[in-house]
Structure 1
């Protein structure tokens, strides 16, 4: 692992402060990360469920954290593709959390998957695969 939890947290706070709106870092390991989003009214859609964009944002930032655990603090790594399948309805006003793991990390790209869960449920509410572009090293 190229960075610590504390280093990544400080980096996200400084370089990506808007990321806090998508969740908070809970755990970090070599090629994996976990984040949690406390669901509030702003995350809900009609019908009383967590919105797709809220789950997508959480998945994206969680995989970004997992990628940085492998490549170090690279601010210009960017999402190039995100696919998400919504599997079941999350519980309104319960936190959602995501666990991301890298499937492949190369010189120019990283590919990973993310499972999103609703607090208190055993089965995932969404599954995402995400590709990141990694800028070339100089």
Structure 2
């Protein structure tokens, strides 16, 4: 995890450490798969450490694993802005798979929040293999944010 300081982090409710702790507490079953490389007001970068359990026949990363990376990425980007709201849920996802990920490389997901409203948030993701600038997938996700009273 990288340190976060400066103007791009002003306004965040959760930094990389807080998000990683939240993930470990609330989603222990997958927390070890994901590491935050960057969190700021522009979005975040989350890494999936690819293991055998993420592969499909033929040795490439499975679609469900890439979906999980995009979903976790947008979820954490939203929480970085609104705080620890565990019950924010995915309501829609569109994902385009563009090319086969590089074998043996971690997957990197760059997330931008396009809209953050009171009830809905929309995020955009670009997934790539570490060391390769070409995208392997692109996803847009919508989240429902529960009212907090």
The answer as to whether partners of 2:36 and 2:46 remain within 8 angstroms in 1 is: yes
Higher relative contact order (CA 8 A, sep 6+): 1
CA distance in 2, matches of 1:6, 1:73: 13
- Mapped pair 1:6 → 2:12: no
Residue 47 of structure 1, CA deviation: 2.0
Closer, same or farther: CA 122–32 of 1 in aligned 2, 3 Å: same
Aligned residues: 138
Aligned counterpart for 1:101 among listed residues 108, 112, 116: 112
TM-score, reference length from structure 1: 0.93
Partner of 1:54: 65
Aligned partner of 1:81 in structure 2 is 92
Q: 3-state SS of the aligned residue for 1:117?
A: strand
Give the alignment partner of residue 118 of structure 1, picking from 129, 143, 149: 129
Is the 8 Å Cα contact of residues 33 and 50 (structure 2) preserved in structure 1? no
Distance in 2 (CA, whole Å) between partners of 1:90 and 1:54 is 12
Residue ranges of structure 1 left out of the alignment (5+ in a row): none
Provide the rounded CA distance (Å) in 2 between the counterparts of 1:84 and 1:21: 23
Partner Cα distance (2:119, 2:41) in 1: 18
Counterpart Cα distance in 2 of 1:48 and 1:123: 19
Give a deviation string over 1:69-102, Cα, whole Å, max 9, x none: 1111111101111110001110121111101110
Within the alignment, does 1:18 sit opposite 2:29 as a pair? Answer: yes
SS where residue 68 of structure 1 aligns? helix
* Aligned-residue offset at 1:18: 2.1
Gaps of 5+ in 2: 1-11
Q: Aligned to 1:125, what secondary structure does the other structure show? A: strand
RMSD: 1.3
Moved over 3 A (4+): none
Residue 22 of structure 1 deviates from its aligned partner by 4.2
- Cα separation, 2, equivalents of 1:32 and 1:99: 8
